[in-house]
Amino acid sequence: MENEKVTPDVKQENTPAEEVKAQSVTPDAKQDQIPYTRFKEVVASNKDLKSKLEEFESAAEKQRVAELEKKGEYETLLGEVTKKYEVAKQKADQLDAYVAQDRDNILSNYDTEERDIIEALPLDKLKKYHANNISKQKMSVDASRAGVGQTTPKSFQEMTEDERRDPATWGAYLKSISRS
């Protein structure tokens, strides 16, 4: 027994004490986080700076317009305003077309009586109404033929010459006769 070597269990790990101390000293992720009060201050100053920048830009634009008016360059101003108007009009037309198409697509799902009632709704309320109505609709199922996936074939006299020659139709006809 004295000569036997004691071997450590494979599951046990020998970690030096230096590693354990080094691991426990590492900073947590919480130290990298920004306190909310500091974050709030930075966001507030950012908003303040953005508003000041917008004020300076609008003041600079007004000053440029005033200088052009003094010089008598009304045509330049008129051209700029016309360009802005055309871009805005084009976007407004696209939006109107989208709204009309969306409204027509929704209204096409309803009969004329219900369409007359709901067509006066604004688009957002119409969409909500349509979503609620679609979820409440029940699917109609023909219960008279529940579980039957095949149709009954025609009688021999009703078949055309081509149907009589078709192997699939003829096979279905023979199956229907043999079941009877």
23 backbone dihedrals φ, ψ, rounded to 5°: -70, -40
Percentage of the residues of the chain whose pLDDT score is greater than 70: 72
Surface-to-core class of residue 70, CB atoms within 10 Å of its CB (0-12 exposed, 13-18 middle, 19+ buried): exposed
Q: Are 89 and 81 in contact (CB under 8 A)?
A: no
- Cα–Cα distance measured from residue 159 to residue 148, given in angstroms and rounded to the nearest whole number: 22
All structural domains of the chain with their residue ranges? 34-72, 74-135
pLDDT band at 154 (very low <50, low <70, confident <90, very high): confident
- Cα–Cα distance measured from residue 97 to residue 91, given in angstroms and rounded to the nearest whole number: 10
Overall average pLDDT of the 73-95 stretch: 89
**What are the C-alpha distances in Å from 73 to residues 67, 85, 124?**
9, 19, 45
pLDDT band at 163 (very low <50, low <70, confident <90, very high): confident
pLDDT band at 21 (very low <50, low <70, confident <90, very high): low
Highest-confidence segment of 6-10, 142-146, 174-178: 174-178
Percentage of the residues of the chain whose pLDDT score is greater than 90: 22
172 vs 11, residue with greater confidence: 172
The predicted structure's pLDDT at residue 12? 58
